[in-house]
Every structure is written in structure tokens, then in C-alpha cells.
Structure 1
């Protein structure tokens, strides 16, 4: 299975997190949460392209989290 291009969305199958592909270092792909935040590394073999529904859910979750009052 191919890894999404930089800027595309992917799922880390180890824990189900959806992230935006930021780049690659060796055999790892760097992902960042859709709403921003700390990047994490994922081996390219543990990634799959995110479905449109997964991307939408991840983005809605981030927008809802940003709208909560402290």
C-alpha cells in the first residue's frame, strides 16, 4: 500500500490516529494531528491512507476541542 503524499491524511494503524503527512525521515513518516500539535513518527509499514470519513471525524474532533472553554 502506498503512503500518502506530503499534506495528505494517513492513519497510524498502531493506534488509529489520523494525521497529516509532514515528511519522511528514513523509513518513518512524520505525522501531525489535523488541528496542529506535536508531530509523531510512524514506520511507513504501519500507515494506510485515511478515508474521507476518518478525515472528517478527526477534523471535527479538533474543531470541537478548540472551541471548549478552559
Structure 2
């Protein structure tokens, strides 16, 4: 259940790209369920954050392609993700 008393949506598969609409449409990778929240990680790495499941949506095709391009660019610069 969410804080509003609604049933939480079905959790996506770990690694799925999602958008946290509760944080200015922040793109992240679904990592898992942490109590009543979902744990998300920035696509380029960094600290995970928790999101309300009801405020998370699947990333659009364009958002997924943009994230993949960012990963490839980081790899070409020798950055580890």
C-alpha cells in the first residue's frame, strides 16, 4: 500500500529504466523494493534514492535511447559505470 492507501503498482524487473515523477522526472534504474518504497539508481552511477511507487512510470523509448547513448559516451571516455 502507498501512503495514500492505494495498492502499490507491480514492481518492474531490476535494471528497468523508470522515471521518478516525484523528483522532477528523474530517470533511474529500478534496483528493488525497500519497504514501501522503490530503490532507484542514477543511470550513470551514483547513490540510490527511494521513490514512491505511485510516482514512478516506465521510461519512454526516447528516454531509454537517451540513457543508452549516455552510457556509450561514458564508456568511450573510459568511465566505469
TM-score, normalised on structure 1?
0.76
Alignment: residue pair count: 66
Q: Which runs of 5+ in 2 are unaligned?
A: 1-8
When Rg is computed on C-alpha atoms for both structures, the one with the higher figure is: 2
> 43, 50, 54: which one pairs with 2:63?
54
Question: Cα offset for 1:47?
Answer: 0.3
Conserved in 1, the CA contact under 8 Å of 2:11 and 2:33? no
**Preserved CA contact (<8 Å) 1:9 1:20:** yes
Q: Which has the higher strand share?
A: 1
| Aligned partner of residue 21 in structure 1, secondary structure | strand
State the Cα distance separating 1:52 from its structure 2 match.
Answer: 1.7
The structure whose RCO (Cα within 8 Å, separation 6+) is larger is 1
Q: What aligned pairs does 1:30-49 form with structure 2 within 5 A after superposition?
A: 30-49=39-58
Gapped runs of 5+ residues in structure 1? none
Question: With structure 2 as the length reference, what TM-score do the two structures score?
Answer: 0.67
Indicate the RMSD between aligned Cα atoms, in angstroms: 1.8
Question: Contact 1:3/1:48 (CA < 8 Å) preserved in 2?
Answer: no
User: Secondary structure of 1:38's match?
Assistant: coil
